[in-house]
């Protein structure tokens, strides 16, 4: 699919418009999550940038991402924050673009590199999960996410037509009933990314350069990240899923927790 569409500059607060003058704009078509994402490039002597903008609850999500970028920056590779502006209803977040290609792009276009890519993703996730949880100020555990998921269902925000094939035709209430039936379980609390998917990881020369879209980062069960990446890798075959589990060290596989987090992710 076409990942970007050229567009006119968005309407910005005056100071931010001045700071971003001279860039060519393109609207990102992947993973906007209710807001707008723009790729800015071509300004003389200036780095490529990404800008996220949203209002209401999306502005809250963007603000969450900004605070997490600030905390993660000295600990793990994330995009450098260049500008953040917030008013009563809207937020604008600008970061430097990371080099490299997404894990999805590499898996799709360079099949001979697939094992190396999966190994790099597993190694990076192990480093992230090794950060001391006591140092992390953000809560993202499954109890917190269950409360948010229930609120999203009640507000009619969950789109059933976007569920994975395993739950095709299910209603949001059916997903809710199935995932709550898998509780309680004993979580292993670590610092998680929250959306550890193939489009959120950038690589070059066999190494992960960094992760993006960290607005859900926080202390949670390690299977929050394991489940999402395992599910993404299914598009490229079960052998890569097994390779990831082996390389990360998720053996024996806890299928109950894996299924719980897969279903919980359907509601966001």
pLDDT at 71: 98
Residues 25 and 133 placed together within one structural domain of the fold: no
Q: Are residues 109 and 235 in the same domain?
A: yes
Q: 62 and 16 in one domain?
A: yes
Q: What is the CATH number of the domain that holds 34?
A: 3.30.200.20
Domain end residue (candidates: 35, 64, 96)? 96
Q: What pLDDT does 31 receive?
A: 58
pLDDT at 29: 82
Q: Is the dihedral of CA 182, 188, 192, 198 positive or negative?
A: negative
- Give the span between the Cα atoms of 19 and 7, in whole angstroms: 18
Nearest to 205 by CA among 117, 268, 134: 117
Which residue out of 99, 135, 141, 195 is catalytically annotated?
195
User: Measuring CA to CA, how many Å separate 232 from each of 5, 14, 118, 121?
Assistant: 25, 40, 11, 12
CATH of the domain at 199: 3.90.1200.10
Sequence-distant (6+) residues with CB within 8 A of 108 are none
Number of domains in the chain: 2
Same domain, 174 and 248: yes
Structure tokens at 172: 């949001």
What is the predicted pLDDT for the residue at 34? 72
Contact (Cβ atoms closer than 8 angstroms) between residue 229 and residue 250: no
Number of residues assigned to the chain: 268
State whether 88 and 108 are in the same domain.
Answer: no
| Domain limit, last residue, from 96, 127, 150 | 96
Q: Which of 70, 96, 122 is the last residue of a domain?
A: 96
Q: Is 259 left (phi over 0), alpha (psi -120 to 50) or beta?
A: alpha
Q: Per-residue confidence of the chain (268 residues) as pLDDT tens digits?
A: 567 899 999 999 999 999 999 999 999 887 556 789 999 999 999 999 999 999 999 999 999 999 999 999 999 999 999 999 999 999 999 999 998 999 999 999 999 999 999 999 999 999 999 999 999 999 999 999 999 999 999 999 998 898 999 999 999 999 999 999 999 999 999 999 999 999 999 999 989 999 999 999 999 999 999 999 999 999 999 999 999 999 999 999 999 999 999 999 999 9
Domain that holds residue 45: 4-96
Tokens of 50: 């990404």
Supply the angle between the helices 114-129 and 223-233 in degrees, to the nearest 10: 170
Assess whether 88 and 112 both reside in one domain: no
pLDDT at position 30:
73
The question of whether 265 is a catalytic residue gets the answer: no
pLDDT at position 35 is: 87
Residues 22 and 153 both lie in one domain: no
pLDDT of residue 201: 98
Assess whether 133 and 260 both reside in one domain. yes
CA–CA–CA angle 247, 116, 102 (5° rounding): 105
**3-state helix/strand/coil string of the chain:** CCCEEEECCCCCCHHHHHHCCCCEEEEECCCCCCCEEEEEECCCCCCCEEEEEEECHHHHHHHHHHHHHHHHCCCCCCCCEEEEEECCCEEEEEEECCCCEEHHHHHHHCHHHHHHHHHHHHHHHHHHHCCCHHHCCCECCHHHHHHHHHHHHHCCCCCHHHCCHHHCCCCHHHHHHHHHCCCCCCCCEEEECCCCCHHHEEEECCEEEEECCCCCCEEEECHHHHHHHHHHHHHHCHHHHHHHHHHHCCCCCCHHHHHHHHHHHHCC
Domain match, 13 and 54 both: yes
Q: Are 197 and 119 found together in one domain?
A: yes
Per the confidence metrics, is the pTM higher than 0.85?
yes
Clarify whether residues 88 and 214 are in a common domain: no
Q: Do 86 and 110 sit in the same domain of this protein? A: no
> Would you say 133 and 221 are in contact if contact means Cβ atoms under 8 Å apart?
no
Determine how many CB atoms are found less than 10 A away from the CB of residue 149: 24
């Amino acid at each position: 699919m076409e990942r970007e569409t050229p567009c006119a500059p968005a309407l910005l607060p005056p100071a931010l418009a001045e700071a971003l003058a001279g860039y060519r704009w393109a609207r990102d078509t992947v993973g906007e999550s209710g807001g707008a994402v723009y790729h800015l490039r071509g300004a003389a002597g200036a780095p490529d940038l990404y800008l996220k903008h949203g209002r209401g609850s999306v502005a809250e999500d963007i603000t969450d991402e900004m605070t997490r970028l600030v905390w993660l920056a000295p600990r793990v590779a994330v995009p450098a924050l260049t500008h953040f502006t917030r008013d009563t209803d809207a937020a604008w977040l600008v970061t430097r673009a990371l080099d490299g290609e997404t894990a999805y792009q590499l898996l799709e276009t360079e099949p001979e590199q697939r094992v190396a890519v999966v190994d790099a993703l597993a190694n990076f996730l192990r480093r992230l999960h090794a950060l001391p949880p006591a140092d992390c100020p953000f809560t993202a555990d499954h109890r917190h996410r269950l409360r948010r998921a229930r609120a999203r269902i009640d507000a009619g925000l969950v789109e059933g037509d976007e569920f994975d094939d395993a739950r095709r035709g299910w209603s949001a209430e059916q997903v809710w009933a199935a995932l709550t039936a898998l509780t309680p379980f004993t979580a292993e609390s670590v610092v998680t990314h929250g959306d550890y998917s193939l489009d959120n990881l950038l690589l070059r020369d066999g190494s992960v350069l960094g992760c993006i879209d960290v607005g859900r980062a926080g202390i949670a069960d390690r299977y929050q990240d394991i489940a999402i990446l395992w599910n993404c890798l299914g598009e490229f075959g079960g052998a890569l899923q097994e390779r990831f589990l082996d390389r990360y060290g998720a053996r024996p596989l806890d299928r109950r927790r894996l299924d719980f987090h897969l279903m919980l992710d359907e509601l966001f």
